[in-house]
Structure 1
Amino acid sequence: MTGFAGKGSDRVAHLVEVGQDEPRNTTTALVADLVIVAEFRDDIYPGLIETGRVEHGGDKPFHTVINAENFHALEMLTYTHRHAIDAIYIDPPYNKGSFRDWKYNNLYVEADDDYRHSKWLAMMERRLLVAAELLNPADSVLIVTIDELEVHRLGLLLEQLFPEARVQMVSSIINPKGVSTNGGFRRADEYIFFVMFGSSHPARLTLAPEWSPSPRGAMAEAPDPEDAREVEPEWTSMMRRGSNSRRVDRPTMFYPIYADPDTKRIVEVGEAIPAGTSEAPPKEGLVAILPLRRNGSEGRWQVGADELRSRMAQGRVRLGRATAYGFVVNYLPDGAYADVQSGKYEVRGRADDGSLLAYRADLGDDRVAPTQWKIQSHNASEYGSTLISDILPGRRFDFPKSLYAVEDTIRFFVQDKPTAVVLDFFSGSGTTAHAVMRLNKQDGGQRQCISVTNNEVSADEQGALSAEGLRPGDPDWEKWGVCDHITKPRIKAAITGKTPDGDPLRGAYKFTDEFPMAEGFEENAAFFTLTYEGPLSVAHHRAFARVAPMLWLRAGARGPIITEIGDKGWDLTDVYGVLDDLDTAARFVTEVKKTPGVAMVYIVTDDDLAFQMVCRELPKGVRPVQLYESYLRNFEINSGRFA
């Protein structure tokens, strides 16, 4: 800001961007429209305010939507998810110019801007550098979609920023009819960059014939010899997931399964354990397996004891990997068992544990996808725009991705990661979160998606709203923003199976998993808006309510958020805890020991010695975090990197 002109309510501030090379971006604004967040050079720290949630997934982790400028949100996530993200999928603005599809420094970038490409690269570079801090360096992927306008510059930028990664590009048909261009060929495809870190690589999947560059048949190339192998039917866990998955929901399905740990064979199925105890009657030489979750909470089996015995007689039950509670118990669900009975698999008898030995030839169907995709379900018009209009009648979003295209793209890297964390910081309409929910339904996974989007309104809408005397921040302005008008309603509608007006969704999902959209998903979602907090408010514990959602996110985004500490000086959920009064540390530690699912605790103290004393008393495996030392040191939004 360089100065003011005018008087009273007509005073105009002249704003100049600082810290940038010439030419600097300048603009003007009414002083009445400006909000003072901090004095010059003050440090500012992020916080979150919850604006709603939908709970339809039992104890599964929450998908989260954050309304924020995405660079600021990425900085915030360095505290909650540093090196913890498995996959990032982004569909950034394509820099079309004439379509006014993105802003830079709060101004739309037009096609005739001499610095159009450099501004776009600068915007992307800042965000990608912070995003890289979030990815797991040992095994993760960054996926970026783009069209021909910036594809070459983006490719060079990715190679420059991430020399340690493997970068590959795929061409994908998104509109078979093509879109006319000015004096050129009709554009039918776009490009997808995959930046693979560490051991990350696309999985071998069972792909339909349309994934092959040439159709399968007499003229198709013979399958690679490495593809020729045998596969089993899909065995799945006996543990109930999602809704009605707690012991109290079906008490008769909380019973022990006894197994011989040496032969890994199920020997006996016990009866339901009476309420009030979690102890199974001991059996000499056998391990009692109960439906306990990894956090120690009580779940239930998929079927009752009698039905399980029946399925064992059919050869549909076997033990999986060893766990802290014995073994994973797997079974063949009805669909997979029907496939075995239909002859799709060759039954070769039974294993030593009595389970069926059934196999089919792979015939090369499980393979790595090629770099050219022409897939019917990836049509962005039919399965992007049309799908959104079915979910949100009367609402419009420009250029959404096909739900199934995003689903397929992510699947290559999270197929074998049922608890993967996926981030989309150009979330737009929320397609990525929707795709992750579909993946979870297909294999019972508990993946979670973090979606970041702003609440900007379109250029045309801005003009109309301004003409009505409205300004950003006014409720009648904000309700038309992309986050409040599209992203959050779409995710809520997908989970509940109902439109924003409460009507059942019409139509059905297609392709990989077909079912009515009105069934919804057994998932949870929480919505937040990013805030900015002063250092004194944070350090003096006055901003705890706004820091609290970040602590919850860092602890895994499960269950309730500890938003305030009562008179007892601490609070605890099944997942994490907060100790505010060190005089109550002994009681707090005792309760943590009684809650086996707690994996992280936050200790509020600026005394390092006191912090260490509490740490020594905590059970093994519980991670302590010092507040607010770790928070304040992690970032300062006004530290110079924040743009």
Structure 2
Amino acid sequence: MGKSKYSHFSREQLEAKLEKLERERYGLVWEDKEENVAKQCETELPVLIEDVTREIVCDPEKPYNFIIEGDNYHSLYTLNFTHKKKIDVIYIDPPYNTGNKSWKYNNNYVDKEDNYRHSKWLSFMSKRLRLARQLLSNRGILICAIDDNEFAGLKLLCDMIFKEQNRLGTLVVVHNPRGRNDDKFFASQHEYLLVYAKNIDNANIADFNLEEKDKTQYNKNDGISFYAETSFIRTGNNSKRSERPNLYYPIFFNEETNKLSLTKHNSQWEELLPLDSKGEEKCWRWGKETFLQLKDTELFVKKVNGKNRIYKKRRLKEETGKRPKTVWYDAKYDASSNGIMLLKKIFGTDNSFNYPKSLFAVKDIIQITSKPNSLILDFFAGSGTTGHAVMELNKEDGGNRQFILCTNNENNICEEVTFPRIKKVIEGYADKGGMPANVKYFRQSFVPNVASDKDKRELVNRSTELLCMAENTFEMCVKRNSKSDFAIFKNATKQTAIIYDEESIKKCVKKLNEKQEELDTVIYVFSYDHTYEADDFENLNISFTVKPIPEAILNVYRKISKMYKK
């Protein structure tokens, strides 16, 4: 008999393992598979390098959007330093694990014959979702697209990471109305969107904007506005007399004068009660006081099956939107027409990307989960649909949403599909006008894990992009040079000073005093540990915050490492 995989465990480790299994009697358990990209972070630390040849600036006053080329695990690692608790919406479309060699694990395609196919996928997703959750703001929402291959496992995994009570809903999107003809039993038409909140108490799902076809029902006009008819009898929850007794009362109608009243003045006034078609007692939509205020302009009576019925005018100006439903069935969600064919229109060629999402499916889910100034992340960015959708929404409502797109460059997808699509959408394509936006393009790079003072200096020297992204300050005011080993960057409201060598502190302080910018100021200063000398900055005549580096970065990376060793 071979050795057990637990034979090297200490008594304390075995007890901890048993305790964990006892806690997880109900839930999701899988054989965790080590992943090379995660193991790499034990010896190397991810940083970012900007490709300045791909920078796009349309309006210097507007914020930047980011494209990050590299494995999304490493991108999420760096974003945990730059954007922890800053992301409002995460939309992802991960590999569906169909078994058709559509995704790689440790550089090898995973097929249907792999006995650990589902375990590998869950290990892959678990690492990334745990990192992603830490990026969400307190009102943040995660949306994950998936099909039947991993729907059940992903739902349990998200219940575990985000907590079941924070699940906002499961949506069905009909993305292939024709159905898949190669399915053996049922021609699949749909996929799912799993929607979770960081904290359900802070979550908000907006209504859909009304489209022109929705407005056609408002086809009557009384001189005040267009309106649609709806019964004055309440329906749905709290519609019974026993539930809202104060809303059950007689209303009197005079057919000759076409007037409504709470008083029966004579025999010409007919009593009307809130009874449904079966004669069951319901209640009115308003109480008596509101009825008296609005009856002459907002209510009317018409005959239905020979009986007088009271109707309310539902005015167009009252209807700002419509509640999203759990099944999305609309031609605009067709991934062929508004995904594949749209990419063909953008690039003017076929086969630029397999299985892109419908632009409208992504646009609609972002519209109802975001606000006009939200920050949206997609760490399975693929063809860049999420960035396209964000720019479309900003154009429609004047918003300032920003996007961060993360994707690897397998088959040159980031360089030849993701970035070019975003560039074409900004500049305009075919018969579509442009949508001005600013973009910075970064690539993942690595420095040795810190084991010496030399390594600390190497990390600081390579951290400029990380620090500028964390503070969202990219306009260079003072350039680093051999005589002054510091740099200063700013935006409209903030400036960031980076002091790469402690010998340059006095020069940096002098420069900041000369500039006298009335901006929030963050100073990153090199230090061998987590401290700095407060006296070094006592002559600085502006308000400021000091953060020692590389400790500010290392502290975040250490926490991630500890999280995965638990």
TM-score (ref. length: structure 1):
0.61
2:197 is aligned to: 196
Which of 379, 392, 408 is 2:364 aligned to?
408
Q: C-alpha separation between the residues in 1 aligned to 2:121 and 2:529?
A: 45
Match of 1:633 among 530, 534, 555: 555
SS of 2:198's partner is strand
Preserved CA contact (<8 Å) 2:356 2:383: yes
5+ residue gaps, structure 1: 1-20, 28-36, 227-358, 458-480, 498-504, 508-516
Q: Give the structure 2 partner of residue 624 of structure 1.
A: 546
Aligned counterpart, 2:408: 454
Match of 1:382 in 2: 337
Is 2:412 the counterpart of 1:444?
no
Q: Displacement, 1:492? A: 1.4
Distance, in Å, in 2 between the alignment partners of 1:196 and 1:46 is 28
Between the aligned partners of 2:518 and 2:345, the Cα distance in structure 1 is 44
RMSD: 3.8
Shift of 1:569: 4.0
Distance 1:530 1:148, change over 3 A: same
C-alpha displacement of 1:599:
4.7
Answer whether contact 2:475 2:489 (CA < 8 A) is retained.
yes
Q: Is the 8 A contact 1:208 1:365 kept in 2?
A: no
Name the counterpart of 2:82.
80
The one-letter code matched in structure 2 to 1:157 is L
Match for residue 418 of structure 1 among 361, 372, 381: 372
How much has 1:443 moved relative to structure 2?
2.5
For 1:241-271, what per-residue CA distance to the aligned partner results, in whole angstroms no more than 9, with x for missing partners?
xxxxxxxxxxxxxxxxxxxxxxxxxxxxxxx
Deviations 1:363-396 (A, max 9, x none): 5452321111112222211111111112223351
* 1:406-425 deviation per Cα after TM superposition (whole angstroms, max 9, x unaligned): 111101121xx333111111
2:430 counterpart residue number: 506
Query: Could you tell me which residue of structure 2 aligns to residue 492 of structure 1?
Result: 423
State how far apart, in whole Å, the 2-side matches of 1:585 and 1:521 are: 39
| Alpha carbons 2:170, 2:326 under 8 Å: kept | yes
Q: How far 1:175 sits from its partner (Å)?
A: 1.9
User: Which 10-residue stretch deviates more, 614-623 or 115-124?
Assistant: 614-623
Shift in alpha-carbon separation, 1:193–1:43, aligned structure 2, 3 A = same
Cross-structure match for 1:143: 143
Q: Describe the shift of the 1:373–1:139 C-alpha distance in structure 2 as closer, same or farther (beyond 3 A).
A: same
| Secondary structure in 2 matching 1:533 | strand
Q: 1:156 to 1:57 in 2, by over 3 A?
A: same
2:346 is aligned, of 369, 374, 391, to 391
**Are 2:534 and 1:612 aligned?**
yes
Mapping 1:523-534, distance limit 5 Å: 523-534=437-448
What is the DSSP-based 3-state SS (H/G/I as helix, E as strand, rest coil) of the residue aligned with 1:601?
strand
Does structure 1 retain, via aligned residues, the 8 Å contact 2:477–2:490?
no
Structure 2 counterparts to residues 551-570 of structure 1, below 5 A: 551-556=467-472, 558-560=474-476, 564-565=480-481, 567-570=483-486
Shift of 1:154: 1.3
Question: Using a 3 Å threshold, how does the CA distance of structure 1 residues 179 and 585 change in structure 2: closer, same or farther?
Answer: same
Deviation at 1:202, TM superposition (A): 0.6
Relative to structure 1, is the Cα distance of residues 24 and 577 closer, same or farther in structure 2, using a 3 angstrom cutoff? closer
2:73 maps to 1:71: yes
What do residues 148-173 of structure 1 show as CA deviations (whole Å, max 9, x unaligned)? 22112211111122215234101111
Which of the residues 521, 541, 558 maps onto 2:435? 521
Determine the structure 1 residue equivalent to 2:524: 602
Identity of aligned residues (%): 30
Gaps of 5+ in 2: 1-29, 221-227, 236-313
Distance in structure 2 (CA, Å) of the matches to 1:374 and 1:557: 43
Secondary structure, counterpart of 1:101 in structure 2: strand
Residue identity in the other structure for 1:70: N
For residues 529-540 of structure 1, the aligned pairs below 5 Å read: 529-534=443-448, 535=450, 536=452, 539-540=455-456
**Deviation sequence 1:401-451 (CA, Å, 0-9, x none):** 11121111101121xx33311111111011111111112222222221111
**Match for 2:161: what amino acid?**
L
Scaled by the length of structure 2, what TM-score is found?
0.69
Q: 2:317 corresponds to which letter in structure 1?
A: D
Q: From the superposition, tell whether residues 112 and 167 of structure 1 become closer, same or farther in structure 2 (CA, over 3 Å).
A: farther
> Contact 2:179–2:188 at 8 Å: present in 1 too?
yes
User: Is the 1:56–1:521 contact (alpha carbons within 8 Å) kept by the matching residues of 2?
Assistant: no
Q: 1:117 to 1:40 in 2, by over 3 A?
A: closer
Deviations, residues 500-547 of structure 1 (Å, cap 9, x unaligned): xxxxx213xxxxxxxxx2x32210111111011023587553454531
Contact 1:573–1:598 under 8 Å retained in 2: no
The partner residue of 2:60 within 49, 58, 64 is 58
- Residue 591 of structure 1, CA deviation: 4.8
Contact 1:552-1:562 at 8 Å conserved across structures = no
Question: What are the Cα deviations for residues 583-639 of structure 1, in whole angstroms up to 9, with x where unaligned?
Answer: 2243144256x3234453322234766443456666787443221111122215994
The aligned runs of 1:147-546 (5 Å cut-off) are 147-163=147-163, 165-198=166-199, 199-208=202-211, 361-394=316-349, 396-414=352-370, 417-457=371-411, 481-497=412-428, 505-507=429-431, 517=432, 519-534=433-448, 535=450, 536=452, 539-544=455-460, 546=462
Quickly say closer, same or farther: Cα 1:209–1:506, change in 2 above 3 A.
closer
- Count residues with an aligned counterpart: 437
1:91 maps onto 2:47 in alignment: no
Higher normalized helix content (fraction of residues):
2
Relative to structure 1, the CA distance from residue 68 to residue 78 in structure 2 (aligned partners, 3 Å threshold; closer, same or farther) is same
